[in-house]
Amino acid sequence: MAPADSTVDEGSASDGVSTLDEQPDTMATPAVTGNQPITAVSDPAAPLPAGGPLASRAIPESPASAGSAPAAIGSVAKFHAEPPVFAYARHAKSPLPYLAAAVVAGSASVLVVRWAVQPVNFGRQGGWSLQWWDRVAVFFLQAENLHGLGADHARLAWASAILLLLGISLVLLTRRIGQNSKADEGYFGAILATCSLFAWWDLPSVIGHQSPAYGEERFRLALAAMLVLIQFIFARWAFAHKLWRSGGLPLEPIAFLLWVPQLVATFWYAGSLAYTKLAVGKHGHHHSPWRDTPAIDRLWQWSTRGTGAAIAVLIVVVTVIQHVGIRADRAAEAEYKGVTI
């Protein structure tokens, strides 16, 4: 039997049960001691915040962007869109103004040279001599026979000046075309253009005394023939193919036509002169089977003219292609940055 004082009163028991039943279905918040973190317990019946359960994990707004206006669409593309792939170099400029300057200089040179080589009755003999004019004409015009006999020397000086201006304009134009290209797509500079466009190989035969001794003349002609191979194989070959690639043109092997025919004809011409001088001898008692004939001269002249015209056409075509391509690059860059042009 239980002791009498351990007997539980029925009323108090019933009151205790009812007290437990009436308590809300919640847990008491434990006391916080020390550095123990506070864990908030949310009500499951409460509605979720906007953005779903992960809304509370959103990245807070940075102080720099707080209170600023929303970014434009272009600025979003600046950071998230793929950058455009440019067809030409980042610093490329349109070669069209350089082409216009070269065309003006070329047109003026045709008029001035025709005016300068006209024979006159009372020409001024001082100033630019015929020897210097022959050197300038050979260097810039190559296969053109413009000796200037009986011409006014002052006019020849003006013609030499305009030819020099034409040469500078051509070098600047081709330099601009070469620098617009990427490093692996036809890049070249002024040195390659200067070594390719003019007749450096013919200078040994025209510079110096006009009536050299036999040994000196033989050396000059042999040096000229050797320079033909050096200039065309090392300079003109690289220039023609790089110029072709600068415009992104297909069928690059066609560029061989810009230097191989002229190389063959020029070396045949210069080689025949050198070999004839060597074979005939000082007194001309021997026979040369490889002589300079009128047919060789015509072949050299027309191959030089045809190659020059083909290079001029290629320069114009590449200039127009680069102008259009550079404008497209700039438009793509502006669209990428969100700027309208």
What does the pLDDT look like over 161-180, one tens digit per residue?
999 999 999 999 999 999 99
What does the pLDDT look like over 81-99, one tens digit per residue?
677 788 888 889 999 999 9
More confident residue, 7 or 294: 294
How far apart are alpha carbons 115 and 159 in whole angstroms? Answer: 8
Q: For the beta carbon of residue 113, count every other beta carbon within 10 angstroms.
A: 23
> Nearest to residue 271, comparing CAs of 289, 285, 298?
289
How far apart are alpha carbons 300 and 142 in whole angstroms? Answer: 10
Q: What pLDDT score was predicted for residue 68?
A: 43
More confident residue, 23 or 256: 256
> Nearest to residue 108, comparing CAs of 164, 61, 56?
164
DSSP assignment letter at 29? P
> Nearest to residue 112, comparing CAs of 89, 84, 141, 83?
141
Reply yes or no on whether the pLDDT at 79 is more than 70: no
Helix axes 153-180, 96-116, angle to 10 degrees: 160
Contacting residues for 313 by C-beta, under 8 A, at least 6 apart: none
Q: What pLDDT score was predicted for residue 284?
A: 61
The residue assigned the tokens 């253009």 is 193
Reply yes or no on whether the pLDDT at 134 is more than 60: yes
Q: Is the pTM of this model over 0.75?
A: no
> Nearest to residue 242, comparing CAs of 227, 259, 228?
259
Reply yes or no on whether the pLDDT at 152 is more than 90: no
Please state the φ and ψ torsions of residue 89, each to the nearest 5 degrees.
Answer: -65, 155
Output the DSSP codes for 52-89. Answer: -GGGGGPPPPPTTTTTPPPPPHHHHHHHHSPPP--SS-
Please state the φ and ψ torsions of residue 144, each to the nearest 5 degrees.
Answer: -85, 130
What does the pLDDT look like over 3-58, one tens digit per residue?
444 444 444 444 444 444 444 444 444 454 445 544 444 455 555 555 455 444 44
201, two tokens = 């190989």
